[in-house]
Every structure is written in C-alpha cells, then in structure tokens.
Structure 1
Amino acid sequence: MPTFHVELFEGRSLEQKRQFVEAITKTTCESLGVEPNSVEIILTEVKREHWATAGKLWSEA
C-alpha cells in the first residue's frame, strides 16, 4: 500500500486538493500497478510562518 505524506502551504482550495490527490492516485496506479483503494495520501497544510528556506521564513519572503 503506497502512502504519501505531502506537506504544502495552506490556502489551496478543496477543488485544488481534490485534483491533486486524484492525479497522484492515477499516476501511482499506472506506474506501480496497484488499485486506487490501496493508495493513501496524507496532506498536511503548514502556515508560511512555520516553514523556512535558506534561513528565511516564507511568511517574510
């Protein structure tokens, strides 16, 4: 059972998240030969103030 943990900035719409998980599921089924009901996707939304790159918070970029 493939399980994906995806961290992304908060703020995307329900429709965007729906399209994303459908695309990941479809691609996983095609490439790994598994059934859709075996694909698990966990989305974790993170505030920009809780994420930093190169020593800078994304909320301050």
Structure 2
Amino acid sequence: MPYVNIKVTREGGPDGAGPSAAQKAQLIKGVTDLLQDILGKSPATTFVVIDAVALDDWGIGGLPVQDYRAQAR
C-alpha cells in the first residue's frame, strides 16, 4: 500500500495557491501510474497526498526559499 506525499510551494496556480486542481489530478495519476508500472502496485491501494506549503514555511540550504533564490540569481 504505497503512500506518496508531494510537497510544493504555494506559488503559481489560481490565486497563488499552488498547483491547479487539473495539475494535482495529473500528479496523482502520474505517480499512481509510475508505481503501477515500475513496482506493480495496485492503483486501488496507492495513496497520493499533495500539500501546498506557504513560501515562508519552506527553506533550502539553511535559508528561506526567497532568500535562497535571490542568492542564486
């Protein structure tokens, strides 16, 4: 019974809320299909959860993501 948790930042999408409902549906189907194709897992028992995280709650390399991106430019 696979459980996959996808975390993305809340940017882009409708109203800056992260991926749209259509994009989330594509992610769910794609991950489910991948687990079925590669590991033979049943789609009926595959769980995919998508969490849209506020940009302020995301960090990379010891920095808030916005600061990290500013340094990378």
Decide: shared fold, TM above 0.5.
Answer: yes
Amino acid at match of 2:3: T
1:40 Cα shift? 0.5
**Larger Rg: 1 or 2?**
2
1:59 Cα shift? 3.7
Q: Normalized against structure 1, the TM-score is what?
A: 0.85
Structure 1 unmatched runs, 5+: none
Which residue of 2 is the match for residue 49 of structure 1?
56
Deviations 1:16-43 (A, max 9, x none): 1110110000010111112211110111
- How high is the sequence identity, in percent, across the aligned residues? 23
Structure 2 unmatched runs, 5+: 11-17
Tell me, yes or no, if structure 1 residue 9 matches structure 2 residue 16: no
Let me know the Cα RMSD of the aligned residues: 1.3
Greater relative contact order, per chain length (Cα 8 Å cut-off, separation 6+): 1
The number of residues matched between the two structures is 61
Secondary structure of 2:7 counterpart: strand
Q: Which has the higher strand share?
A: 1
